Amino acid sequence: MQRLSGRRASSLRTEASSWSGLLTMARKRSSRTTFFFLSLPFVAAFTFFAPLPSLSSLSPPLPASSPIRVIGQKFEIKNDKFWKDGQPFQIIGGDLHYFRVHPEYWEDRLLRAKALGLNTIQTYVPWNLHEPRPGKLVFEGIADIVAFLKLCQKLDFLVMLRPGPYICGGEL
């Protein structure tokens, strides 16, 4: 068996002690944190693999004709902070693409996002979905953005809209 030089043996001992320190830290992590990180792939999988309907699907129960009312809300950026209604505000957001989730699952997915601590939903607006042919506009079923935005408002989410024909640098 080959004998290790003093420097190499010392290096291996240091590496072994740092690994044991990492393992000790990993064991100390709370079970809630572990559960959270272990459940994320399942939440993502259920959201991603939800069945997609045709454009003629029924809309969620929110009526599309009721007006959206905004009463005395203010959002601004000053002193390198976000401020909402005069209070410092931290955006904790996630993406939920309304056109990739069946409308009957929108509320469920938004409530799950709320349970994870999110206060902001980001979504793209794929214009080629809303105007498949020049002059033909579609705003029903999975394309009912008004109903999606009203549901976000009902659940007290801020929404960051990303309109356009391009999503993530490519045309959808």
Strand blocks (E) in the chain = 75-78, 81-84, 87-89, 93-95, 120-126, 158-164, 166-167, 170-171
pLDDT at 172 exceeding the cut of 50? yes
In this structure, are residues 129 and 163 in contact, taking their beta carbons and an 8 Å threshold? no
In this prediction, residue 164 carries a pLDDT of 77
Distance CA 162, CA 168 (A): 10
pLDDT at 11 exceeding the cut of 90? no
In this prediction, residue 163 carries a pLDDT of 86
> Which has the higher per-residue pLDDT, 33 or 133?
133
In the chain, what are the domain boundaries? 91-163
> Which has the higher per-residue pLDDT, 64 or 107?
107
104: confidence class by pLDDT, cuts 50, 70, 90:
very high
SS3 call for 125: strand
In this prediction, residue 55 carries a pLDDT of 43
37: confidence class by pLDDT, cuts 50, 70, 90:
low
- The model's pLDDT over 41-75, given as tens digits with 9 standing for 90+, comes to 655 555 555 554 444 444 445 455 555 565 667 88
pLDDT at 122 exceeding the cut of 80? yes
Distance CA 142, CA 153 (A): 18
Q: What's the mean pLDDT in 17-24?
A: 57
Residue 32 in tokens: 């809630």
In this prediction, residue 17 carries a pLDDT of 57
Q: Mean of the per-residue pLDDT values for the chain?
A: 76
Classify residue 127 by burial, with Cβ atoms within 10 Å: 0-12, 13-18, 19+: middle
> Which has the higher per-residue pLDDT, 98 or 45?
98
> Which has the higher per-residue pLDDT, 168 or 60?
168
Q: What one-letter code names the amino acid at 96?
A: L
Distance CA 29, CA 65 (A): 49
The model carries a pTM of 0.57
